[in-house]
Chain A
Amino acid sequence: MSMTRAQLIVRAAVAGGAVAAGPLAARAVADIKDDLGLLEYLLSLEYVQSGLYRDALKQTSLSDGVARLVAELRDQEVEHVDALRATIEDAGGRAPERLPLDFGAALASESAFLKLANTLEDTAVSAYNGAAPRVESREFLAIFASIAQVEGRHAALVRLERDKPPAPLAFDKASNRQDVRTKIREYEQR
């Protein structure tokens, strides 16, 4: 797979900072290490999202329109996975392994699948909105915000398929790591 846009952004920004900022670059490296925990937990969430779409396309009877949407969402979540993994590795970290997933009854019907997809997309929006203000790195903030907007778009499109309001609140929520982990843990096979 070719280098993703996020990788390009991170590499260009880190490289530019190292040349232009001198001691500032050393501080940025320390900050990046502090941010790795956030990246790792967001990657775990992206694993679950991309896994849900992958499994639904294989196991769930989907209408043509929903199947087209799900394929699009799967591709974008896979790109997020690739970008976060590469970013963690670029920053000197080690990306967590992908755990086996089991979505159980959520794959039994289109409506059950869409309900879980809705929950996970809304969770992703709140996860990125909770993590982004806490990162030290401006480069990571830019990437988190960019992905957060895409997750918001995903959430709206899934909600439309469910005849639910696409933007029910004027302000999206922000969740902490513990809240998000609780929501995805039941699908991870440890």
Chain B
Amino acid sequence: MPTRRALIAAATAAPLTLAACGGEGEDEREQERDAADLEIARFLLGVEHVEAAFWREAESRGTLATAGAGEVVGAFARNEREHVTVLERWVRKLGGGRPRPPATALDAIFAAGAEEALASAASLENLSAAAYLGQINRVQDRNLVASLLAIHTVEGRQAAALNRIAGRGFSVGTSQLEGALPDGAFAEPMVMGDVRTALRRYTGARA
């Protein structure tokens, strides 16, 4: 199963990386750790930008209200805006500039109707939760780990709620991006490449 292999690889990669640079100076090691964390923070910020754009559209169009999700739209939009703010701070702290939000292509999703838009929202939140889980144990800075965890479980909450409201049931079993609960008691991570591929549905980016 690719996702489990990815988790094992992620879990073992970090200590080996540290061992490989054991002969270098502390400053250089810190720079390497910051660079690795910066890549992760930028990546997750990109995911958050797409989510924030999605919920901004959902708020302004009001589409999801007719699918039974009207009560959560405002809160989820606010949550994603706050996630963007915190990740932007982390990117700056780690020495990065302010990345430009990725382009999004959401018109077709909302034009397909309330039910389809809700299903897309539910999948996007599952994707985000899996994206965080794929990165958390690669992070070196303990404070960044704590920040990502605090966001990650909120993404899980939002995913479960939306999948439930969408009537998808607990674990669908056909796709990691569908269902309120994972197929089993452990959430599955996704690696960066798989997340970027799945995000194309929302950004319109080509392979």
Contacts and interface: CB of A to CB of B under 8 A. Distances in A.
A177 to B, nearest CB: 16
A125 to B, nearest CB: 5
A136 to B, nearest CB: 10
B136 A141 contact: yes
B14 A150 contact: no
B156 A153 contact: yes
Chain B CB within 10 Å — which of A28, A169, A173, A174 has the most?
A: A169
B149 A174 contact: yes
Interface stretch (B5-13, B102-110, B198-206): B5-13
Interface string A143-164: 1011111111111110110000
Interface stretch (A56-64, A73-81, A89-97): A73-81
B36 interface: no
A133 B146 contact: yes
B160 A152 contact: yes
A21 B78 CA distance: 44
A142 interface: yes
A145 B8 contact: no
Contacts of B133: 145-146, 149
A87 B137 CA distance: 18
B180 interface: yes
A42 interface: no
Nearest to A147: B186
Contacts, number: 185
B176 interface: no
Given A150-B156, A156-B156, A171-B151, A133 B145 contact: yes
A6 B185 CA distance: 9
Interface residues on A, range: 35 or more
B67 interface: no
A43 B72 CA distance: 32
B82 A171 contact: yes
Interface string A29-53: 0000000000000000000000000
Interface string B187-200: 11100000000000
B145 to A, nearest CB: 5
Contacts of B151: 170-171
Contact of B185 (A69, A83, A165): A83
Interface in A80-128: 80, 83, 125, 128
Interface of A: 4-6, 8-9, 12-13, 16-17, 20-21, 24, 28, 69, 72, 75-77, 79-80, 83, 125, 128-129, 132-134, 138-139, 141-143, 145-157, 159-160, 165-174
16 contacts: A5-B185, A9-B4, A16-B8, A21-B19, A72-B170, A76-B184, A77-B185, A138-B11, A146-B133, A149-B133, A153-B159, A155-B157, A156-B156, A160-B161, A172-B149, A174-B149
